[in-house]
Amino acid sequence: MPYRCRECGYRSPKWLGRCPVCQSWESFEEVAEDKAGETAGQTWVGERPRSLADIPRIPEERLSTGMGEVDRVLGGGLIPGVVVLFGGEPGVGKSTLLLQLAAQVAARYGKVLYVSGEEATAQVKLRAERLGVAEPTLYLLSEQHLLRIVEAVQDVGPTALVVDSLQTVLARPDGGEIGGLLQVREAAAHFARLAKGLGMATVLVSHITKEGGFAGPKTVEHLVDVAVYLEGVREGDLRLLRCVKNRYGSTAEVAVLQMGASGLVEVANPSLFFVPQDRTPRPGSAIVPVLEGSRTLLMEIQALVTPSGGYGPPQRRTAGLDFNRALVLLAVIEKHLGVHTRAMDVYLAVAGGLEVREPAVDLAVCAAVLGSVRNRVIPADTVILGEVGLAGDVRPVRRGPERLREVAKLGFRRAVVPKAPLPKRVSLEAIQVQTLKEAAEVLGLT
Ligand code: TYD
Ligand code: MG
């Protein structure tokens, strides 16, 4: 009787205390002799070491998902055999987007199998109709049993497979509750081997769940080639598709999508999306170029500083900005500019509902606060960029020149920036400052 690692499926003729492949301890269990024709991927396909020179290259061809922005996040599209983990909170739009992408891939490259463990095929069909999807090469299956999904794959022979979701796959009868760690890991590992064996691009959906007991996407990230997350923003219908792991490309890429009546559509030029073009500048508003992956997005920081009621401590609220960072910046403003907000309520927000975590927004946050305190406006054609140190110094930010080039392209004429190299041949007046005080003077906010 052979033995098999419960974690990764590695087989060994004798019992081992530790798996040589996945390093799990005590994971070997006795299994029945392999039956001929047992599902592909279930048996460990041993490879022999080969010279680097003899190993074939991964083909350059990539399957386009039909959405340029999504392709960019995936590192140029789907490589045959790639395993993509697709995470997100329930209701964010995973099934919607994947049905759209599955149809696009089916239209271009042949059969795609979309397996839903949560919805009946009739329900999926209803959604497909709403999305205007009618590809005959798109196959639907409502199934939870891993082995039956594998059978369906062998039956259909698809170019790409979508499993919606990992948490509904019953991978092992003895693996405990569906959605539990063992089931989810086993399913992910199995689909990964299947994908590699067949050269079939595979997308594994995984819900982010807040309550314990279920295995979320983080528990299988190490098993996949690419991990992306679909995120909602605080308010409205915008979605960000963010790549956090990519064995074949850059991990920092982000796509901006918008949920509409017929599914998700890409926001092709999101740079100015969060700053309305007909914006009238108001006191307490400052524009900053924020980096999201290789994209520069302009964000509006808004501050409202008002005398507090005098009962209890003054209010401090932030939306989309780091709360503790905001408190530090208020202290720096007080110390280095002598502007006291101790008896004031301070509200700070990023307009449009995005989360911004970069220190590069510090100077814009300070400018917005000062603008509100002084009741002065920062001109509409001016952006503000820089990290603010505890000593009241303004520090360079990463990829500053790139951001300024984009800002100039979008029609802004002035930028208050740290002392650092500037982009060449750019029609933008860059005012370099070394301290917060200088920045306040330049902007007329002292
Ligand atoms: P869904 O894709 O089912 O989310 P997930 O698979 O991540 O759980 O999306 C659910 C939400 O999307 C639901 O609230 C309805 C909305 N929606 C639209 O706004 N437009 C559409 O065209 C579709 C299909 C869904
Ligand atoms: Mg879903």
Q: CA 244 to CA 185: how far, in whole Å?
A: 19
Please tell me the number of the ligand nearest to residue 231's CA: 1
Span 384-411, pLDDT tens digits: 999 999 999 999 999 999 999 999 988 8
Using pLDDT thresholds of 50, 70 and 90, give the confidence band for residue 41. Answer: very low
Instruction: Spell out which residues have Cβ within 5 A of ligand 2, the ion.
Output: 95
The whole-number average pLDDT for the span 74-81 is: 93
Q: CA 215 to CA 223: how far, in whole Å?
A: 14
DSSP 283-333: TTEEEEEEEETTEEEEEEEEEEEEE--SSSSPPEEEESS-HHHHHHHHHHH
For the chain, domain boundaries: 1-34, 63-268, 285-442
- pLDDT, position 190: 94
Higher pLDDT, 16 or 288: 288
pLDDT at 124 over 70: yes
pLDDT at 53 over 50: yes
Please tell me the number of the ligand nearest to residue 117's CA: 2
Q: CA 53 to CA 59: how far, in whole Å?
A: 16
Span 315-341, pLDDT tens digits: 999 999 999 999 999 999 999 999 999
Q: CA 156 to CA 137: how far, in whole Å?
A: 10
| Residue 130 near ligand 1, beta carbon < 6 Å | yes
Query: Checking DSSP bridges between strand 28-30 and strand 3-5, what pairing results, if any?
Result: antiparallel
Please tell me the number of the ligand nearest to residue 263's CA: 1
pLDDT at 58 over 80: no
Using pLDDT thresholds of 50, 70 and 90, give the confidence band for residue 303. Answer: very high
Using pLDDT thresholds of 50, 70 and 90, give the confidence band for residue 1. Answer: low
Domain boundaries 285-442, corresponding CATH code: 3.30.230.10
Percent of the chain scoring above 90 in pLDDT: 67
pLDDT at 45 over 60: no
The whole-number average pLDDT for the span 99-109 is: 96
CB-based contact 77:58 (threshold 8 Å): no
Mean pLDDT of the residues in the chain: 90
| Lowest pLDDT segment from 71-80, 280-289, 348-357, 406-415 | 348-357
- pLDDT, position 204: 98
How close is the Cα of 90 to the center of ligand 2, in Å? Answer: 7
Domain boundaries 63-268, corresponding CATH code: 3.40.50.300
- Nearest 5°: CA angle at 368, between 362 and 373? 125
pLDDT at 120 over 80: yes
Q: CA 333 to CA 427: how far, in whole Å?
A: 31
Pocket test for ligand 1, best of 92, 94, 95, 96 (most atoms within 8 A of CB): 96
- pLDDT, position 36: 45
Widest pairwise Cα distance in the chain: 82
- pLDDT, position 438: 98
Which residue CA neighbors atom 13 of ligand 1 most closely?
91
- pLDDT, position 40: 42
Using pLDDT thresholds of 50, 70 and 90, give the confidence band for residue 56. Answer: confident
Q: Kindly report the length of the chain.
A: 446
The whole-number average pLDDT for the span 157-166 is: 96
pTM (predicted TM-score): 0.79
Residue 11 Cα to chain centre, angstroms: 36
Task: Pick the closest to residue 93 from 184, 220, 191, 229 (CA basis).
Answer: 229
Span 212-232, pLDDT tens digits: 556 889 899 999 999 999 998
The whole-number average pLDDT for the span 91-95 is: 94
Burial (0-12, 13-18, 19+ Cβ within 10 Å), 1 = exposed
| Lowest pLDDT segment from 8-17, 219-228, 281-290, 350-359 | 8-17
- pLDDT, position 34: 52
- CB within 8 Å of 45: residues ≥ 6 apart: 193, 197
Closest ligand 1 atom to 230 CA: 7
In this structure, what token pair is assigned to residue 79?
A: 């490589």
In this structure, what token pair is assigned to residue 179?
A: 């959605």
Q: CA 229 to CA 240: how far, in whole Å?
A: 8
Q: CA 367 to CA 345: how far, in whole Å?
A: 16
DSSP 9-54: --EESS--SB-TTT--BS-EEE-PPPPTTPPTTTS--------GGG
| Residue 90 near ligand 1, beta carbon < 6 Å | yes
